[in-house]
Every structure is written in structure tokens, then in C-alpha cells.
């Protein structure tokens, strides 16, 4: 029976996730020739071609079969290594997260953390960032993940990523240029709401709020019902929102930062582990967010419009 080296599987999945040998080498800390050699070794070991290099880098049928299994194998490997190589940790971590992450990559990431550290209880609450920061200052959370203005944030160097805001709308929605732009928004204090209204005001485009909700599911439902348009950061847009650009006459919405608020001196061992886990997951989500997406029904897809 053949045994597949774990490093070959990790290289193979990373190439597919990032779309190239060079990109995978940069992330894994290897040269492009070394990456190519690992793929060759894997193909020779399995005696099948894994990539079709004609017309772009695409997985072969055998490659797709291997990729599906390789992701599961690597997740199990990483969970076991994390659990055995780290001293036993227990306790409760009070985590605050932005509403947008309720149905994006974060639930998947927290599930992986729970499997790796089953003795840690996660007490998770979602809210708009301004409320999360206020709750953290009052001692309601051990760790909060929030959004802030680009260039004006207070996150540490390793504690944040920068993301672009994108317009989103239902595919059947028609924007009437003779009417104010109908908006579906979070409540006052939401950074998205500020970017949206500031951008429209700066472009001298009239607008009105048709629907306001503090829930991402409420926002999505209102958009699907055709009440109006809204915006999310690219990192949190579910697959049902992914599509080509439309509504090119709407202004760009700029960028925001997503990062962590915590006090290193008061973090419990469990909270410190979770912070490190979320840091790595957040940065990885920029490189290949599709692997962290929650499954979605693509039958009634929504358009991402910028």
C-alpha cells in the first residue's frame, strides 16, 4: 500500500487554492522549482496527472478527486498535531465577532478550533463593531474581532488585514436612475453604512434607506426580496453573492481593516490559542477564501456589484 507524504498533499492543495506554483511557493516558503518537483513526485507516486496545464492551470478529474480527500486529510492532520503538540488547555473564551462573519469562513474556522481543543468552550456573540468595541472596554469579552477605518485603525501589525468593500444586489434588481438609490443597511454606527452613505453623498447621488437590520441574514433576505442594495467586504461575501461587476456608475466604497482587540497581559491560555488560530485563519482567507466559504444554494445567486 502506498503512503502519500503530507507535505506533498499540502503543496498540491495550496497550488490549487492559490492558482499557481509560484504563489504556492511564496506561501509555503519554497522555490518554484521545488514546488514543481513535489507535484512531479506526487503524480509519479499515484501514476496519474493532477494538473492540466493547457489553457491555464486546471485540475484533472483525478486531481479533483484527490483535492477533495486531501483537504480532509490535512484538516485531520493539523487538528491532531495541534492537540498533541500543545499542552492541555481548558476554559471559556468570550469572543465577539462582526455580524458579517456569521455565515462566512468564521464558523468553519471555529469548528476546526473546537475539534483541536475540545476542552475549550467558545462563547461567541455577533454585533456591529462599534458595539463590540464598547463591550470589550466594559469587560464583556476576552477577545473581539472588529472592523475599522483603513489607515486609522489601532490594530497591531500582525493583527489585521485590509479588505475592499463591494456593492451587492439581487440579480433581478433594477436600479432606477431617476429615483434615490434604495439602501439595505445595518444600524447607525456600522462602518459599512458610513462608507456607503459618504460615498454616495460625495458623488452627489441621492439615496434613501429602505430597510435596516442588525442581522446579516436580515440584510441578505431584504436584498434577495429586491428591497434595495447594500455592501459587504469581499472577505465575507457568501458564494451566492459572487458575480461580475454591474452598476458601474456607483462610486467605489474604499477599504476597511479587519482585526483583533485584546490585552496580551490578561489573555488566558485558551484565549491566546484562539487568537493565534484566528489570526492565521483570517490571513489565509485572503489567499483562498473559497475554501472557507459556508455552503450556499447557488440556484438564486446574487450579484456582487462594484
The model's confidence at residue 135, banded by pLDDT at 50, 70 and 90, is very high
Phi then psi for residue 45, to 5 deg, are: -65, -40
C-alpha cell at 78: 493539523
Per DSSP, 204 falls in state T
Among 42-51, 173-182, 249-258, 290-299, the range scoring the smallest mean pLDDT is 290-299
Q: What is the CATH number of domain 91-159+256-292?
A: 3.40.190.10
Report how far residue 196's alpha carbon sits from residue 193's, in angstroms, rounded to the nearest whole number.
Answer: 5
The model's confidence at residue 305, banded by pLDDT at 50, 70 and 90, is very low
Three-state DSSP class for residue 245: coil
DSSP string of 130-197? HHHHHHHHTTS-SEEEEEEETTS----TTSEEEEEEEEEE-TT----TTSPEEEEEPPTT-HHHHHHH
Identical fold, 91-159+256-292 and 163-255+298-305? yes
Report how far residue 36's alpha carbon sits from residue 42's, in angstroms, rounded to the nearest whole number.
Answer: 10
Place of cell 461580475: 244
Whole-prediction pTM: 0.66
The domain ranges of the chain are 6-84, 91-159+256-292, 163-255+298-305
| Dihedral sign computed on CA atoms, order 213, 216, 222, 227 | positive
Which CATH fold would you assign to the domain 6-84?
A: Arc Repressor Mutant, subunit A (1.10.10)
Report how far residue 49's alpha carbon sits from residue 5's, in angstroms, rounded to the nearest whole number.
Answer: 17
Q: What is the CATH number of domain 163-255+298-305?
A: 3.40.190.10
Q: Which residues lie closer than 8 Å to 242 by C-beta, 6 or more apart?
A: 301, 304
> Parallel, antiparallel, or unpaired: how do β-strands 160-169 and 230-233 relate?
antiparallel
Highest-pLDDT range among 105-114, 200-209, 256-265: 200-209
Q: How far is CA 88 from the centre of its chain?
A: 28
User: Among candidates 122, 102, 244, which has minimal Cα distance to 186?
Assistant: 102
The model's confidence at residue 289, banded by pLDDT at 50, 70 and 90, is very low
H helices within the chain, ranges in order? Answer: 6-18, 21-28, 32-46, 61-85, 106-116, 129-137, 191-202, 216-224, 269-287
Among 59-63, 143-147, 150-154, the range scoring the smallest mean pLDDT is 150-154
C-alpha cell at 94: 468570550
Reported as a single tens digit per residue, the pLDDT across 217-272 is: 888 889 889 899 999 887 676 666 544 345 668 899 989 888 898 998 999 999 99
Amino acid at each position: 500500500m502506498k503512503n502519500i507524504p503530507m507535505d506533498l498533499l499540502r503543496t498540491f492543495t495550496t497550488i490549487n487554492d492559490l492558482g499557481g506554483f509560484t504563489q504556492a511557493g511564496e506561501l509555503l516558503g519554497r522555490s518554484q522549482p521545488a514546488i514543481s518537483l513535489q507535484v512531479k513526485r506526487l503524480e509519479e507516486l499515484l501514476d496519474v496527472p493532477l494538473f492540466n496545464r493547457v489553457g491555464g492551470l486546471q485540475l484533472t478529474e483525478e486531481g479533483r478527486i484527490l483535492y477533495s480527500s486531501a483537504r480532509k486529510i490535512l484538516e485531520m492532520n493539523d487538528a491532531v498535531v495541534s492537540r498533541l503538540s500543545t499542552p492541555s488547555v481548558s476554559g471559556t473564551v468570550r469572543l465577539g465577532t462582526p455580524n458579517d462573519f456569521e455565515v462566512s469562513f468564521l464558523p468553519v474556522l471555529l469548528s476546526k478550533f473546537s475539534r483541536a481543543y475540545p476542552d475549550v468552550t467558545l462563547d461567541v456573540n455577533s454585533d456591529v463593531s462599534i458595539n463590540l468595541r464598547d463591550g470589550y472596554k466594559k469587560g464583556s469579552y476576552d477577545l473581539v474581532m472588529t472592523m475599522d477605518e483603513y489607515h486609522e485603525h489601532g490594530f497591531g501589525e500582525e493583527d489585521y488585514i485590509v479588505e475592499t468593500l463591494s456593492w451587492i444586489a439581487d440579480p433581478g434588481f433594477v436600479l432606477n436612475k431617476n429615483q434615490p438609490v434604495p439602501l439595505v443597511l445595518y444600524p447607525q454606527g456600522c462602518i459599512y453604512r458610513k462608507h456607503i452613505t459618504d460615498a454616495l453623498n460625495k458623488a452627489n447621488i441621492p439615496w434613501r434607506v429602505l430597510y435596516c437590520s442588525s442581522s446579516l441574514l436580515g440584510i441578505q433576505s431584504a436584498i434577495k426580496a429586491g428591497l434595495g442594495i447594500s455592501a459587504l467586504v469581499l472577505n465575507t461575501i457568501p458564494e451566492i453573492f459572487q458575480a461580475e461587476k454591474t452598476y458601474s456608475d456607483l462610486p467605489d466604497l474604499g477599504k476597511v481593516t479587519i482585526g483583533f482587540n485584546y490585552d496580551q497581559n490578561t489573555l488566558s491560555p485558551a484565549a491566546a490559542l484562539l487568537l493565534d488560530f484566528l489570526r492565521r485563519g483570517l490571513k489565509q482567507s485572503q489567499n483562498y477564501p473559497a475554501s472557507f466559504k459556508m455552503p450556499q444554494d447557488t440556484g438564486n445567486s446574487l450579484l456582487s456589484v462594484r
